[in-house]
Amino acid sequence: MMADYRSENNRIDIRGYRKIIRLAGTVVVEKEELIPPKFEFLRPFTRYPWIREYFTGTVVSFLRKK
Q: What is the pLDDT of residues 36-60, one digit of tens each?
A: 988 999 999 999 998 999 999 889 9
Tell me the C-alpha distance between 56 and 13, whole Å: 9
Query: What are the structural domain ranges in the chain?
Result: 2-65
Residue 24 φ/ψ, nearest 5 degrees: -60, -45
Cα–Cα distances in Å, from 40 out to 17, 37, 51, 53, 64?
Answer: 22, 8, 16, 16, 28
What pLDDT was estimated at residue 35? Answer: 93
pTM over 0.85: no
Beta bridge partners of 62: 31
